[in-house]
Amino acid sequence: MQNLIIERIVALRKEMAAEGVKAVILPRTDAHLSEYISSHWHIVRYLSGFTGSAGTMVVTDKEALLWVDSRYFLQGAQQIEGTGIILMKDGLPETPSITEYLCEHLAKGDKVGINGMLMSIDETASLRSRLNAAGIKLDVDFDPIDRIWADRPSLPSDKIFVHDEKYAGESAKAKISRILKSAAVQGAEAYFTSALDEIAWVLNIRSNDVPCNPVATSFLYLAPDGSTLFVDGAKMTSEVEAYLKDAGVAVAPYDAVLSSLAALPKDVTVLLSGSRASGAIAHVLEGRYVKGNSPVALPKAVKNDVQIAGIRQAHLRDGVAMVRSFMEIEKVVESGEKLTEMGVADILLKHRGKGDLFFDLSFESICGFGPNGAIVHYTATPESDSVITKGNLLLIDSGANYLDGTTDITRTIAIGEPTADMRHDFTLVMKGHIAIATSIFPEGTRGAQLDALARMPLWKEGKSYLHGTGHGVGHFLNVHEGPQSIRLNDTLASLTPGMLTSNEPGVYLADRYGIRCENLVLTIPYEETEFGKFYAFETITLCPFDRSLFDVSIMSDEEIEWVDNYHHTVYDRLAPLMTEEERAWLAAATRPLDR
């Protein structure tokens, strides 16, 4: 594989030389600036072998480099070993940004190439400004990938289907009206979005174009005098076409988007999101767009009553599936049968797949045993697939997409008797988890203002984790959703009632084990006082934590009470859906902690 990677980079450099390009930037995304992408857009994987969900590759005439965030420091290093690619650990003080690196290593008059569809308006403008200040040119039309990737997969052609309003809670017509009113407030008649999750949410349509993400590859133009969905005709059915027509949405070819936008009347002003629309889109609308906030992001993040009811039901079914999975894992290990990480993932899929309204996983299950659990977004492969044996921790991060909701849960369980260090580290993580779960905060609070609550128990012992504490979660959509998050760097989005967010602190000890504890929490009203409105979190996920991993000697009475109350709730809600044997297992798993 290493030799193939080297050959592909050589082929890319030949294309660069032919175009006079000294460096090319290759973000791991698609023409919709997505986090999760179809096989057609796995350019970074093709050129590097790196399989993570975030990373950017830079190839110059002399070096090849891969920037990854802390989730992928270990995985990235392993996967590019022997290729000559240099791993750049993004976010560390000693690591230059991509722009800093280019300005340092290129000369005045050199040219950097990008595919303008793969970089946002804001990113393109920032890059251009920095490079131009150093006398370096930016070519936004450099896209040689088809010429070097002979067997590149086609764009997805899966059929689109309608997501019933009984699950969505609001019609496409009503959403379009809301969005256009919001666009008008920002000085625009129309709104254009490339974001696949926004398009799916606005139109109440879904597909299966991206693994674990029920989205349809398309672009959407919304305007009072008629809207247009740009999509491959092979994805359409007569039912969907009639449905869209009734919503006031026409259909046009996917590859006609740029020419159609260029042909819009000169007096039409289109709203574009600086972070969610590409520089190439802005270029064809030059002089006819305003850059502002997405009018979809907040309404999509704030779930309506129908969606919230569905989310609760989805988590009941998901909790039952998780309990059944843990029971099977426990039985297999105790029997002495061989069980591997990939086998654990199969067990999870089997039990979830039996649930009502199941559509797909919400992401590829992360099942990391022992040292593999310390790789934050580890995915088992046939080569790395570890056997589950007694004496270490198994980290399971998994979730599902049901027609009525999306789930995301992480549990760390002891296989055999845990060590004192394992119990201590697990309890530190849970203390942070509980601090988030029980936090009360005033209206306008952002996730960055709560993030330290989750980290403090670890920080006090010189430990930490580098990923965010929480991300937004969609509704039968992408498992990672903005605009809210709980993390050290501020996304400037307030936590608002109706938002569904993860609560997932962790700690990772290289070559030993990883620990992460994740529930989804719903922001809810708490009380209103003379100081204003206050909000809290309601924990939605229903699944026991491993009681054997709690060290109650370092827990407060309030923390122990929270765990006991949570487990009591888990039993009360899941038990009626279970067999007698399952209820007995769950009763033991949720009994009060031993003090």
Task: Answer yes or no: is pLDDT of 251 > 90.
Answer: yes
| Residue 229 forms part of a structural domain | yes
289 shares its domain with 309: no
Mean pLDDT of 131-142: 96
**b/e per residue 398-408 (b: at least 16 CB within 10 A):** bbbbbbbbbbb
Report the percentage of the chain scoring pLDDT > 70.
Answer: 100
Q: How confident is the model at residue 338 (pLDDT cuts 50, 70, 90)?
A: very high
Task: Answer yes or no: is pLDDT of 91 > 90.
Answer: no
343 shares its domain with 450: yes
| Residue 18 forms part of a structural domain | yes
Of 236, 264, 299, the position where a domain reaches its end is 299
Domain of 118: which CATH number? 3.40.350.10
Give the angle 163-177-245 at the CA atoms, nearest 5°: 55
Task: Answer yes or no: is pLDDT of 126 > 90.
Answer: yes
Task: Answer yes or no: is pLDDT of 234 > 90.
Answer: yes
Task: Give me the pLDDT at residue 491, please.
Answer: 86
| Residue 377 forms part of a structural domain | yes
| Residue 515 forms part of a structural domain | yes
165 shares its domain with 138: no
Report the percentage of the chain scoring pLDDT > 90.
Answer: 94
Mean pLDDT of 528-556: 98
Q: CA 368 to CA 376: how far, in whole Å?
A: 9
| Residue 153 forms part of a structural domain | no
Q: What is the phi-psi region of residue 20: left when phi exceeds 0, alpha when psi lies from -120 to 50, beta otherwise?
A: left
Relative to beta strand 205-206, strand 161-162 is antiparallel
Give the angle 513-51-398 at the CA atoms, nearest 5°: 55
Q: How confident is the model at residue 594 (pLDDT cuts 50, 70, 90)?
A: confident
| Residue 127 forms part of a structural domain | yes
326 shares its domain with 342: yes
Q: What would the pLDDT profile of 342-351 be if each residue is shown by its tens digit? A: 999 999 999 9
| Residue 155 forms part of a structural domain | no
Task: Answer yes or no: is pLDDT of 595 > 80.
Answer: no
262 shares its domain with 335: no
132 shares its domain with 178: no
Q: What would the pLDDT profile of 150-164 be if each residue is shown by its tens digit? A: 999 999 999 999 999
Domain of 389: which CATH number? 3.90.230.10
Task: Give me the pLDDT at residue 3, please.
Answer: 86
Of 276, 299, 322, the position where a domain reaches its end is 299
Task: Give me the pLDDT at residue 400, please.
Answer: 98
The residue ranking higher by pLDDT, 73 or 251, is 251
Tokens of 546: 């491993």
Give the residue numbers spanning the domain of 49. 2-148
Mean pLDDT of 454-472: 97
DSSP 6-49: HHHHHHHHHHHHHHT-SEEEEES--TT--SS--GGG-HHHHHH-
169 shares its domain with 72: no
Task: Give me the pLDDT at residue 379, please.
Answer: 86
Mean pLDDT of 190-198: 97
122 shares its domain with 242: no
Alpha-helical runs (H) found in 232-376: 238-246, 257-262, 279-284, 297-301, 305-335, 341-353
Q: What would the pLDDT profile of 363-418 be if each residue is shown by its tens digit? A: 999 999 999 999 888 889 898 999 999 999 999 999 999 999 999 999 999 999 99
Mean pLDDT of 505-517: 97
The pTM assigned to this predicted structure is: 0.93
Of 148, 183, 204, the position where a domain reaches its end is 148
Task: Answer yes or no: is pLDDT of 109 > 80.
Answer: yes
Mean pLDDT estimate for the chain: 96
194 shares its domain with 74: no
Mean pLDDT of 445-459: 98
Task: Answer yes or no: is pLDDT of 1 > 80.
Answer: no
Task: Give me the pLDDT at residue 334, please.
Answer: 95
Alpha-helical runs (H) found in 141-229: 145-148, 165-168, 172-185, 196-203
| Whether 328 contacts 346, CB under 8 Å | no
| Residue 591 forms part of a structural domain | no
Burial of 314 (0-12, 13-18, 19+ CB in 10 A): buried
Q: What are the φ and ψ backbone dihedral angles of 102, each rounded to 5 degrees?
A: -65, -40
513 shares its domain with 572: yes
166 shares its domain with 134: no
Task: Give me the pLDDT at residue 72, please.
Answer: 85
Q: How confident is the model at residue 71 (pLDDT cuts 50, 70, 90)?
A: confident
Residue 71 half-sphere exposure toward CB, CA atoms < 13 A = 15
284 shares its domain with 346: no
Task: Give me the pLDDT at residue 70, please.
Answer: 83
Task: Give me the pLDDT at residue 290, please.
Answer: 97
Q: How confident is the model at residue 188 (pLDDT cuts 50, 70, 90)?
A: very high
Q: CA 538 to CA 431: how far, in whole Å?
A: 17
Task: Give me the pLDDT at residue 359, please.
Answer: 98
Q: CA 445 to CA 429: how far, in whole Å?
A: 23
Q: What would the pLDDT profile of 262-310 be if each residue is shown by its tens digit? A: 999 999 999 999 999 999 999 999 999 999 999 999 999 999 999 999 9
Number of structural domains (the chain) is 3
